[in-house]
């Protein structure tokens, strides 16, 4: 059966996003994603999801024409064609500094990943099997996710009329415990992750203690996205020794992470200092991390995430999964690949509970006891809701946001805000 690409549609969308506070600022009222539809001569269409910021869109549009005629089973050629189309002057800007530094390799990997997922969706649709089966079959039939807790404001400081959510403010331990309670009651999450690097570190430690008291026995994590100096990280690590499942990116850079790692018994995890194949050797040699958070969006796709898993297993590193704001197509892809990696034993991150809008048909992916059942339908096992896609594309056209910029969003309230890191030293 011929299954050659005849067309690619890239639709940028904007989704409402709450005012979640981060190490460098605050989320904008809209987060950007793009939805990919890859058409074939067999009449089948494969779907995928990528970031929707301008640099990503530029890379996707540069690569797309080179994919016409590609057999969707020929994923090695997909890689070669993307490299050829992007050329040496590939824009290397990353979505946010919260996922580490940009590089040419990472830009290529992100572009390959964006098109690999629809190709795998198409392969699955062609043979009538779910993507997890194309990746070697399920090591688990359900994938556990963690509750992703954020300090946050009740509403965005924007023009009246913006439809705020009803989660309310969370700026202290009680607020975060209440948020966690709601996440746990609603979705059943077992592990809890606190996005830190926002308040003075000792206050964030108090929040972790409050979570431990409110949810005894549940695995806890904190992730200040490299907003602490080494001395601050060492002090926090001492206070949280024995309390955390892992400490994520306390400081920036492989040598600094290695310095902290040498001084604590807490496992350090990262989605900032080891985020690409070329960062693995120095990260491993220097002993900077014990857990790598994978993310198929920037590691090069679902198969590259499996290659990452092989390296992690070889060197005794654990694996978890990172998330930015995303929609249901990515959630399906994350679930398939997590299910296919036996050593990915930590509950995965997901921003999904923070989104009220989606591009997939309602009710297709539902958390039950904190986990998602791996879709069993052909391909990704989810389908696009074209009306929703059109609505969210219109929202993209209207909203004017074209890049993620937590610093600019914070300047609306604090005009002198720089977002410079590390803020706490
Ligand atoms: O979306 O605010 C956010 C997150 O902080 C995200 O950008 C990070 O990359 O969740 C991520 C992380 O674990 O570092
Ligand atoms: Mg992180």
Residue 123 Cβ contacting ligand 1 at under 6 Å: no
Read off the pLDDT of residues 162-215 as tens digits, 9 standing for 90 and up.
999 999 999 999 999 999 999 999 999 999 999 999 999 999 999 999 999 999
Instruction: Transcribe 190-241 into DSSP letters.
Output: -SEEEE-SSS-HHHHHHHHHHHHHHSTT--EEEE-TT-B-HHHHHHHHHHHT
H/E run at residue 36: strand 30-40
Residue 18 has a pLDDT of 98
- Residue intervals of the chain classified under CATH 3.30.390.10 are 5-129+386-398
Q: Residue 241: which pLDDT band, with cuts at 50, 70 and 90? A: very high
The count of C-alpha atoms lying within 13 angstroms of the C-alpha of 365, restricted to the half-sphere facing its C-beta, is: 30
Distance CA 328, CA 283 (A): 32
- Residue intervals of the chain classified under CATH 3.20.20.120 are 133-373
| Contact in structure between 236 and 263 (CB atoms under 8 Å) | no
Residue 195 Cβ contacting ligand 1 at under 6 Å: yes
Distances (CA, A) of 344 to 83, 152, 273, 340, 376: 29, 29, 19, 9, 20
Residue 270 Cβ contacting ligand 1 at under 6 Å: no
Distances (CA, A) of 187 to 18, 143, 213, 279, 323: 18, 13, 20, 35, 17
Residue 219 has a pLDDT of 98
Residue 89 has a pLDDT of 82
> If you measure from the C-alpha of residue 22 to the centroid of ligand 2, how many angstroms do you get, rounded to a whole number?
11
Question: Two tokens at 291?
Answer: 């857990």
322 part of the active site: yes
156 part of the active site: no
Give 195 or 88, the one with higher predicted confidence. 195
CATH node for 5-129+386-398: 3.30.390.10
Region 62-69: mean pLDDT is 98
Question: Which of 30, 298, 323, 354 for a ligand 1 pocket mutation test, highest count of atoms within 8 Å of Cβ?
Answer: 323
Ligand 1: atom nearest CA of 96 is 7
Q: Residue 158: which pLDDT band, with cuts at 50, 70 and 90? A: confident
Read off the pLDDT of residues 342-378 as tens digits, 9 standing for 90 and up.
999 999 999 999 999 999 999 999 999 999 999 999 9
Catalytic residue among 106, 125, 297, 322: 322
Say whether pTM exceeds 0.85: yes
Residue 221 has a pLDDT of 98
Ligand 1: atom nearest CA of 293 is 13
- Beta bridge partner(s), residue 181: none
**Cα separation of the two ends of the chain:** 61
**Architecture per CATH, 133-373:** Alpha-Beta Barrel (3.20)
% of the chain beyond a pLDDT of 90: 96
Residue 239 has a pLDDT of 98
Contacts of residue 379, Cβ cutoff 8 Å, sequence gap at least 6: 46, 120, 121, 122, 123, 124, 125, 130, 131
Q: Residue 263: which pLDDT band, with cuts at 50, 70 and 90? A: very high
Per DSSP, the three-state class of 62 is helix
Residue 20 Cβ contacting ligand 1 at under 6 Å: yes
Q: By alpha-carbon position, which residue is closest to atom 13 of ligand 1?
A: 322
Catalytic residue among 27, 106, 125, 195: 195
Region 79-90: mean pLDDT is 93
């Amino acid at each position: 059966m011929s299954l050659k690409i005849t067309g690619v549609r890239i639709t940028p969308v904007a989704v409402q996003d709450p005012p979640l506070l981060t190490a460098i600022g605050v989320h904008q009222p809209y987060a950007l994603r793009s939805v990919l539809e890859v058409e074939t001569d067999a009449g089948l269409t494969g779907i995928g999801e990528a970031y929707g910021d301008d640099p990503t869109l530029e890379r996707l549009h540069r690569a797309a024409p080179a994919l016409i005629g590609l057999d969707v089973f020929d994923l090695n050629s997909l890689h070669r064609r993307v490299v050829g189309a992007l050329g040496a002057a590939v824009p290397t800007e990353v979505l946010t500094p919260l996922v580490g530094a940009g590089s040419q390799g990472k830009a290529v990997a992100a572009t390959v990943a964006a098109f690999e997922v629809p190709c795998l969706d198409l392969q699955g649709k062609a043979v009538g099997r779910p993507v997890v089966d194309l990746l070697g079959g399920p090591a688990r039939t359900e994938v556990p996710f963690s509750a992703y807790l954020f300090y946050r404001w009740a509403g965005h400081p924007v023009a009246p009329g913006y439809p705020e959510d009803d989660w309310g403010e969370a700026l202290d331990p009680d607020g975060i415990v209440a948020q966690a309670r709601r996440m746990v009651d609603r979705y059943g999450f077992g592990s809890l992750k606190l996005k830190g690097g926002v308040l003075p570190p000792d206050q964030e430690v108090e929040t972790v203690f409050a979570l431990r008291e409110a949810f005894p026995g549940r695995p806890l994590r904190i992730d200040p996205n490299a907003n602490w100096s080494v001395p601050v990280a060492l002090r926090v690590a001492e206070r949280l020794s024995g309390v955390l499942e892992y400490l994520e990116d306390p400081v920036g850079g492989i040598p600094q992470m290695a310095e902290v790692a040498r001084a604590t018994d807490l496992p350090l995890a990262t989605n900032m200092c080891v985020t690409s194949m070329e960062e693995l050797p120095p990260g491993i040699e220097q002993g900077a991390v014990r857990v790598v958070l994978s993310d198929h969006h920037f590691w090069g796709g679902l198969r590259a995430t499996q290659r990452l898993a092989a390296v992690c297993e070889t060197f005794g590193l654990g694996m978890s999964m990172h998330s930015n704001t995303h929609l249901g197509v990515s959630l399906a892809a994350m679930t398939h690949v997590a299910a296919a990696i036996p050593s990915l034993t930590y509950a995965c991150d997901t921003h999904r509970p923070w989104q009220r809008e989606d591009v997939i048909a309602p009710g297709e992916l539902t958390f039950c006891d904190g986990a998602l059942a791996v879709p069993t339908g052909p391909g990704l096992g989810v389908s696009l809701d074209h009306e929703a896609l059109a609505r969210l594309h219109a929202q993209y056209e209207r909203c004017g946001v074209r890049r993620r910029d937590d610093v600019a969003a914070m300047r609306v309230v604090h005009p002198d805000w720089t977002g410079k890191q590390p803020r706490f030293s």
